[in-house]
Amino acid sequence: MRSKVDEVMFREEYPRPDYIRKNWQPLNGEWDFEIADGKSLGQSYYLHSDLLGVIEVPFAPGALFSGVSSLGNLKSVWYKRRFELSKQQASGKVFLNFIAVDYRSEIYINGQLVSINKGGSLPFSIDITQYVVEGENIVAVNALDDETDSALPSGYQGKSVKGGAPSVTGIWGSVWLEFASHSYIEDCFAYCKAGEIILKGAISAPLEGGYFAVEVSLEGKSLSSYRYKATKDIFLSIPLNSAPELWNVLNGKLYDIDILLKDASGNTADSVRIYTFFRNIEMVNNRLAVNGKPVIIRAVDDYCYYGGGGSTAPSADIIKQDFLKLISLGFNAVRPVQRIPEPIYLYYADVLGLIVLEDYPSYGMDFDLDSAAQNIQADWLNLAKRDFGHPSIIFRQPVYSECNNAQAKHAMYNLIKSLDSSRFVMSGGLAFSADIIDIDVTGLTLNEVLEKIIERKNGTYTTKREERTLRKRYPSLMDNNSYAAYPFIVSGIGQSFSSSNRDEENAALKNYRALTQAALSAGAAGYIYSALGDTPAWLSGLADINRDDKLSRGGELELQRINSG
């Protein structure tokens, strides 16, 4: 039995553009598949028997393009597929890579368990060299999930909220193989300071007489080439021969760095391409300044729902086109709501110069549970490392606004600042620790918005007695004077409208103009429109569920004028 989309190869591009290996092999496409919920069959059965159906990876079951119609909270699913390795591929290092598997995954190669991974949204890589053979091999994945478990980060998946989207279980990002020699480059990254690029990392094993050939380029133009002796630990200082070009909002300048590890004879043992950037960010007079220039944040919430693809974009180009559309409408920032975006999403934001407000999928987590705190901390340890090299990421919101757990908000603020102090931490709802406050005005009238953003107070109360009760319950709650002095951004601006009703469109644009002007007049650092695209539960998107534009041409021009004001 073939899937509905067996004639289409989705997501053919290399999945990790911030760390590229040239020798790779995609594993997207048709996989064997079976839902194991409620079945008493053991692991051995799924490893050694044919699975009952097929699925199109990288789409989660329930997405139209997956070919699997099962919806809901799946708790155990199995995947399996065959792949071929040449003699040359099998003789070196072989890595199996996943962009995202939700939530706990057990990975098997040729019937042997090779890895157990936790974390539904972050990429991971497995060295499967000792388990593969020349010729045919079989990879199997058992994904275990339960979005009703309040210790797990699932964001808005399966939730009846404005950004609610269908449930996600199992593989929902690209899968691929990479190949290298037994001496290969690992954990390599770069950062910039004082007109030079610092390159750090390691190689897996000594390479007698080996050396690094490093080339730096900007927008396809080679700037410099260097040769360094290959040592176990990489710490290289690469000078620039000209003044650095800065990454700016809507003008993303990225320095590409090609690193080739060569043996004594000049043969390439491994090669990777990464990129880095020069930019400076700070808050000046409660507004963002990038490279010393003030920037008003004009952002859009992106619920990352892609119609037939569900929570997975059917192509990288769709992400790029979304961003280009936002820029044409006068926006300069995007917030992927309750999502850890995939590397390609961040790459296009980097290239196009969009600001990203990172919003961790913590909605519904119970931070009174030790396991919830452990899960979010483990994710952020990996996330801070993964996203260090993305200049687009300027703001981070680790804990959802409705969370009133003071300990959790304090702990996550301190953790994130200790991992990467260069970005700003955003807090919504009750504020305990923050660099910038997110004030949500969803569903409020203009007068209610004005009251909320002009007389800013930390909490929802109307009397002194209610305030005393609140502060008694939360002793570490930020006082109102401190709260009001912090930079703030106004979110939740938007109202439902349909593409066929111009009266609704005009009303939505009138509301948008009034609320954004009110926000900026009150001293806001910016605002966030909700949202880029519709979801099954939220219809205020600039595009519908299938990413088709909803605004008329006249409406687009009016929106652009408002954002340029």
- Range with the poorest average pLDDT among 65-79, 127-141, 217-231, 298-312: 65-79
Asked whether residue 38 carries a pLDDT value surpassing 90, the answer given is no
Please determine, for residue 18, whether its predicted confidence score (pLDDT) is greater than 90: yes
Q: Is the confidence at residue 418, as pLDDT, over 60?
A: yes
Contacts of 73 (CB under 8 A, 6+ apart): 145, 146, 147, 148, 158, 167, 169
Arithmetic mean of pLDDT, 222-247:
93
Whether 225 and 125 map to the same domain: the answer is: no
| pLDDT at 8 exceeding the cut of 70 | no
* Mean pLDDT, rounded, for 58-70: 92
CATH number at residue 370: 3.20.20.80
The mean-pLDDT minimum among 39-53, 272-286, 474-488 falls in 39-53
- Mind giving me the DSSP string for 249-305? TTB---EEEEEEEE-TTS-EEEEEEEEE----EEEETTEEEETTEEE-EEEEEE---
The count of structural domains within the chain is: 3
Distance in Å from the first CA to the final CA of the chain: 56
Does any domain span residue 541?
Answer: yes
What phi-psi label fits residue 311: left (phi over 0), alpha (psi between -120 and 50 degrees) or beta?
Answer: alpha
Q: Which domain holds residue 442?
A: 298-564
* Whether residue 479 sits in one domain with residue 408: yes
| pLDDT of 490 higher than 50 | yes
70 shares its domain with 134: yes
Can you tell me the distance from the alpha carbon of 325 to that of 250, in angstroms, rounded to the nearest whole number?
13
Average pLDDT over residues 539-563: 93
Per-residue pLDDT at 1:
27
Same domain, 103 and 139: yes
| Domain-embedded: residue 12 | no
Q: What is the pTM of this model?
A: 0.95
User: What pLDDT score was predicted for residue 5?
Assistant: 34
Using CA atoms, how far apart are residues 122 and 7, in angstroms rounded to an integer?
A: 29
pLDDT score for 154:
85
Torsion of CA 50, 53, 57, 63, to 10 degrees: -160
DSSP classification of residue 130: G
Q: What long-range pairs does 507-516 form, CB within 8 A, spacing at least 24?
A: 508/540, 509/555, 509/558, 509/559, 509/562, 511/446, 512/559, 512/562, 513/562, 514/446, 515/441, 515/446, 515/449, 515/490, 516/562, 516/563
Question: In DSSP terms, which residues pair with 56 in a beta bridge?
Answer: 30
Taking residues 117-138, report their average pLDDT. Answer: 96
Q: Are 27 and 140 in contact (CB under 8 A)?
A: no
Q: Are residues 118 and 174 in the same domain?
A: yes
Check residue 526 and report its DSSP letter. Answer: E
**One domain, residues 340 and 365:** yes
Q: Is the dihedral of CA 338, 340, 345, 348 positive or negative?
A: positive
Cα 378 from chain centroid (whole Å): 16
Q: What per-residue confidence (pLDDT) applies to 162? A: 56
| 554 and 410 in a common domain | yes
Last residue of a domain, one of 180, 198, 213: 180
pLDDT over 90 at 512, yes or no: yes
Which pLDDT does position 540 carry in this prediction? 85
pLDDT of amino acid 159:
62
CA 291, chain centre distance (Å): 24
Q: Residues 376, 360: contact at Cβ < 8 Å?
A: yes
Question: Do 375 and 483 share a domain, yes or no?
Answer: yes
Residues 221 and 313 in one domain: no
pLDDT tens digits, one per residue of 304-331 = 999 999 999 999 999 999 999 999 999 9
Domain boundary among 276, 306, 332: 276
In a domain? residue 475: yes
Report the pLDDT value the prediction gives residue 496, as an integer from 0 to 100: 82
Asked whether residue 5 is domain-assigned, the answer is no
- Together in a domain, 463 and 442: yes
- Residue 116 contacts residue 106 (beta carbons within 8 Å): yes
Q: Is residue 444 domain-shared with residue 304, that is, in the same domain?
A: yes
| 6 pLDDT more than 50 | no
More confident residue, 435 or 167: 435
- Which of these three, 180, 200, 222, is where a domain ends? 180
Residues 270-305 pLDDT 10s: 999 999 999 999 999 999 999 999 999 999 999 999
| 89 has pLDDT over 90 | yes
Q: 219 lies in a domain?
A: yes
**Confidence band of 43 (pLDDT split at 50, 70, 90):** confident
- Taking 80 as the threshold, does the pLDDT of residue 160 lie above it? no
Per-residue burial over 35-45, b = 16 or more CB atoms within 10 Å of its CB, e = otherwise: bbeeeeeeeee
Q: What local confidence, expressed as pLDDT, does residue 164 receive?
A: 62
Q: Does position 2 have pLDDT exceeding 60, yes or no?
A: no
Q: Which residues pair with 482 in a beta bridge?
A: none
Does residue 9 form part of some domain? no
CATH number at residue 212: 2.60.40.10
Q: Is residue 246 part of a domain?
A: yes
Q: What is the arithmetic mean of pLDDT over 406-435?
A: 96
- CATH number of the domain within which 169 lies: 2.60.120.260
Q: What is the pLDDT of residue 53?
A: 95
50 pLDDT more than 50? yes
If phi over 0 gives left and psi between -120 and 50 gives alpha, with beta otherwise, what is residue 516? alpha
Cis peptide before 531 (omega within 30 of 0): yes
The two structure tokens encoding residue 129: 């060299």
The whole-number pLDDT of residue 526 equals 98
Residue 564's pLDDT band, with cuts at 50, 70 and 90, is very high
70: nearest Cα among 101, 106, 33: 33
| pLDDT-based confidence at residue 40 (cuts at 50, 70, 90) | confident
Q: Quick one: pLDDT band at residue 206, thresholds 50, 70, 90?
A: confident
Is there a domain that residue 4 lies in?
Answer: no
320 and 370 together in one domain: yes
| Model pLDDT, residue 9 | 54
Has residue 7 got a pLDDT over 60?
no
Report the alpha-carbon angle 116-117-122, nearest 5: 160
Q: Note the pLDDT of residue 146.
A: 87
